[in-house]
Amino acid sequence: MLRQQTATDQILEAVNENPDCTLDELVQRLPDFHWSHIFLEVDQLSRTGRLRLTRSGSGFITTLRLSRAEPAE
């Protein structure tokens, strides 16, 4: 049986595949989640150091930063 990925897993996977995506692009890539859920998850990932938000001229760009505790794949 396949394990269903959490929102956090899907966000990390999407950002890993496209490291310079914007929050809007991330929301478009994950249509199963409401934008506010994605925003809260991104905020939590940012606060824990797993995801870095970098400001650009047009908004925020999400850049993946793996934590040391996370094994490299």
54 is in which domain, residue-wise?
A: 21-64
Q: Enter the pTM of the model.
A: 0.75
* DSSP-based three-state secondary structure for 52: strand
14 within a domain of the structure (yes/no): no
Give the H/E segment covering residue 21: none
43 within a domain of the structure (yes/no): yes
The burial of 32, by beta-carbon neighbours within 10 Å (0-12 exposed, 13-18 middle, 19 or more buried), is given as exposed
- Two structure tokens written together for 3: 């394990």
16 within a domain of the structure (yes/no): no
- Two structure tokens written together for 10: 């899907």
pLDDT at position 4 is 75
pLDDT in tens, the chain (73 residues): 456 789 999 999 998 888 778 888 899 999 999 999 999 999 999 999 888 887 776 666 666 665 545 444 4
How many structural domains comprise the chain? 1
36 within a domain of the structure (yes/no): yes
